[in-house]
Chain A
Amino acid sequence: MRKIWALIRATAISAASYRIAFLTGLLSSLVTALPIFFITKALQPTMAASIAGEGSNYFGFVILGLMLSQWMSFGSSSAEDALLGSIRNGTLEAFFATPTRLPTLMAGLMGWPFLMTLLRSVVMVGTAMLFGVKMHLAGVPLALLVILLVAVAYSGVSLLSAALVLTIRTSGPLISAVSVGSYLLGGVYYSTSSIPSWIRSLSEIVPLAPGLRALRRVLLEGSGWTAVSGDVGHLALLAFALLAVTTPFLLLALHQARRTGTLAQY
């Protein structure tokens, strides 16, 4: 844990030294919420029926959608960012030559983006509450579990893209395709019940879909574990499967990079 904390601390100090970028990053979540408030207010009458099962407030619905999609972005890019950032900075080999294991290094390097995403999530939910959205705060622990599972599920994509970058120097359109697909099928702006039935089954393999359903029920409707256990179980299964499939690819890519001497090349 000490090693992870040391890496988070170093990353945080480094990030905070870029003061303007750091502050604008924090403010962006706050600013994003404002236009969404007015747009969703205008669309509320149209959307009310379709989102009835996931909280009846469309502003809250979209804010939680955007908040969880930030966790999707964190999950799907943080492992790749951690590795590539270290390669570009020239620190990767120095890290790998220490007696610190790869999972610890990765956890430490992903820690600061994790905390920043958490902070942005708090700002977004707080802003929604300020604008009158009723959040059931008793469901926060369950909501955190859902968020964590979404992040873990998408980190499988990130491990695969990191493996591709280590091997062929590009992950191609992988992350973009996953993001676009998740936005379309995950239900960020609309309920997945509105998706045409012929592609609705596809949304069940997108971690964002069960994640958003569970998160909205917990925070907007005050549902408990029994109401969302199906979605959470589904999400946990996806997270496990994605990690189990993609982790060997990264380990293989690292082995290959050590063999070809390209570990620190980009």
Chain B
Amino acid sequence: MSGGAGVGVELQGVQKRFVERRTMRDWARAPFARRWHVALDDVSLSVAPGEFFGLLGPNGAGKSTLFKILSTLVLPDGGRAAIGGYTVTEQPASVRGLISPVSADERSLWWRLSAIENLRLFGALHGLSRRDADRRADAVLALVRLEGTGARMVGAFSSGMRQRLLVARALMGTPRVLLLDEPTRSLDPISARDLRLFLRDELNRRLGCTILLATHSHEEALDCCERVGVLHRGRLLASGSRADLVRSLGDDRYRLLAAPTAAAALAVFAADGRVRAVIPQEPQEGEWRRWIVEIPGGEGAAADVLALLVRDGVAVAGLERLEPNLADLLERVVARDTAPEVQHA
């Protein structure tokens, strides 16, 4: 119905910076000086055809700029961005035939028109005949659970309804790549969950549409995406599947249950670098004490630490690897990134 077999998205060293707006005072002091805001800094990424890829990052990370470049609305300063093999700078018309951006900006709807008229308009702009546009409008309204509201003026819709209508509008063409910029921002949790399931099960898995989802919600990204990328201050800090990220970002944390004498041994291990962090835990369990211990070097290193504790006469009841919380890991990656945000020309 809506959407076609997905095509891939390629980004190679994409760069974008914008001139920062200066105050009158700055302008008077140095009329020709410019301050640059780096929106994207050497971003390289490959999204396979039919993949559901999540782009995570806080506000101002560069997600929307990246999507605008892919939508041919903003030109990159450097690098190459291509969709289905067509580059956004050389073949923008071909790119626009493949993509459908879904902005969270409800203003981009025609508020004085009914929902069905909005969809008809964009159906026509995607080249559909009136009959095909009507047929598809009915179908996409049902998909986003807005059936029965087609005749209502969009201005009378709730924010959540408008958000769903924006998704419906994006489906009026035959998107091979759907660019979703925070599509659930105005939705209640249940509607947001429904929309995510719809995107994943219907558009991505059933129809094979490639989807790029920009969000600042870990939950949302992990709920539907096969892979995620972490964008911060215009730089792609990490990308991969959940397992890849845990492997590359995981900090090998273990829960140790041992006799109180382990404290002294752990202090020695921390001093010689065998363990990186030792965090005592409450409450105690009878004779036993609990610690969260970070042991770099994988499971072999953990086994060595265990052997050393036993050799030192420490009674150990258990050493259990903690399943890392990806959301926490990603937040830590972003927090670690302290690159300067502003460059001077």
Which residues of A pack against B, CB within 8 Å? Answer: 2-3, 5-7, 9-10, 13-14, 17-18, 89-91, 93-101, 255, 258-261, 263-264
Pair B125/A98 contact, Cβ less than 8 Å: yes
Chain B residues whose C-beta falls within 8 Å of the C-beta of A17 in the assembled complex: 112-113, 153
Pair B108/A263 contact, Cβ less than 8 Å: no
Chain B residues whose C-beta falls within 8 Å of the C-beta of A258 in the assembled complex: 72-75
Chain A residues whose C-beta falls within 8 Å of the C-beta of B218 in the assembled complex: none
Report how far A235 CA is from B120 CA in the complex, Å.
39
**Secondary structure call for the B interface:** mixed
Pair B108/A7 contact, Cβ less than 8 Å: no
Which residues of B pack against A, CB within 8 Å? Answer: 16, 18-19, 39, 65, 68, 71-75, 93, 96-97, 99-101, 103, 105, 107-110, 112-113, 117-118, 120-127, 129-130, 153, 169, 173
Pair A98/B73 contact, Cβ less than 8 Å: no
In the assembled complex, how far is the CB of residue B92 from the closest CB belonging to chain A, in whole angstroms?
9
* Interface CB pairs A-B, < 8 A, 21: A3-B124, A3-B125, A3-B127, A6-B120, A6-B125, A10-B113, A10-B120, A10-B121, A13-B117, A91-B107, A95-B125, A96-B73, A97-B71, A97-B73, A98-B122, A98-B173, A99-B97, A255-B75, A260-B19, A261-B74, A264-B73
In the assembled complex, how far is the CB of residue A257 from the closest CB belonging to chain B, in whole angstroms?
9
Report how far A119 CA is from B130 CA in the complex, Å.
26
**Secondary structure call for the A interface:** helix
Pair B108/A14 contact, Cβ less than 8 Å: no
Report how far A93 CA is from B102 CA in the complex, Å.
11
Pair A263/B74 contact, Cβ less than 8 Å: yes
Report how far A204 CA is from B315 CA in the complex, Å.
104
Report how far A82 CA is from B233 CA in the complex, Å.
35
Report how far A89 CA is from B122 CA in the complex, Å.
16
Pair A13/B113 contact, Cβ less than 8 Å: yes
Complex: chain B residue closest to A101, CB-CB: B93
Report how far A17 CA is from B124 CA in the complex, Å.
21
Closest 4 A/B residue pairs (Cβ): A90-B107, A6-B124, A14-B112, A98-B125
Pair A2/B112 contact, Cβ less than 8 Å: no
Pair A7/B121 contact, Cβ less than 8 Å: yes
